[in-house]
Structure 1
């Protein structure tokens, strides 16, 4: 069973756009960053993809920007898997600012399994389906109280 995965970061000047807040494209970039960190922690990252000759690639994103993030702020990038089948896995994201308990961003990505050499769809191997499991229904992925005392 996969778990909720968090990655903390501080907003840097290069994340900021002309309007003075985090550029919208950065959120999609952070979706990729936190997903990559999560799969590495699960033991099935990029190195293993190459060895197994198949990989997961993003085929669809949904994003919702809720509040702006500003330079110098610490935010939590959270991700978890909420569904999987033989070809696809579905990853959720919630980005949170502990200083004011604000949910900044939510999103999800549909990932497809492909053969690396051909780019064609491929059923996930047991190695993938064992590593990539949805979180328990008993967990609330929007519970950020562990950060609220910071």
Structure 2
């Protein structure tokens, strides 16, 4: 079973577009950032991909922009795995702003396992299927109650 993974960030000037809010493309970049941090935490990052000669690549994204984010704001990027089969894993994302308890963005990605040398689909090895386990149905990934309005975890 995989866990919910959170990455706290601060919106920087380079994230802002001409409308003075976070550019839509930045959210997709943050999806990659938090997914990468999550797989590293699971012990199955780029180094392991290269050793195993196969990797996960994004094949489909669905995104929903709900509220704008602005420079200087603290944002919690949350991700978790919600399904897996021999070729695909399915990852969910929620980006949350603690100061007003707002959900800014939701998304999901279908990831495919490929052989690095050829780029062709490949069944996931046991190393992948053991690491990439779906979140338990008893966990609520939309619960951010452990964070105060500054984005710090309550003790």
Superposition TM-score, scaled by structure 2 size:
0.96
Q: 1:148 and 1:81 mapped to 2: Cα distance?
A: 25
Q: Are residue 132 (structure 1) and residue 136 (structure 2) matched? A: no
User: Is there any run of 5+ residues in structure 2 with no aligned partner, and where?
Assistant: 151-155
CA drift at 1:149 = 5.2
The equivalent of 1:17 in structure 2 is: 17
Q: Secondary structure at the match of 1:147?
A: coil
CA drift at 1:142 = 0.3
Moved over 4 A (4+): none
Q: 1:75 and 1:147 mapped to 2: Cα distance?
A: 11
Superposition TM-score, scaled by structure 1 size:
0.99
> What aligned pairs does 1:1-150 form with structure 2 within 5 A after superposition?
1-148=1-148, 150=150
On the 8 A contact 2:74/2:97 being kept in 1, the answer is: yes
User: Is there any run of 5+ residues in structure 1 with no aligned partner, and where?
Assistant: none
CA drift at 1:93 = 0.1
RMSD: 0.6
Q: 1:144 and 1:26 mapped to 2: Cα distance?
A: 22
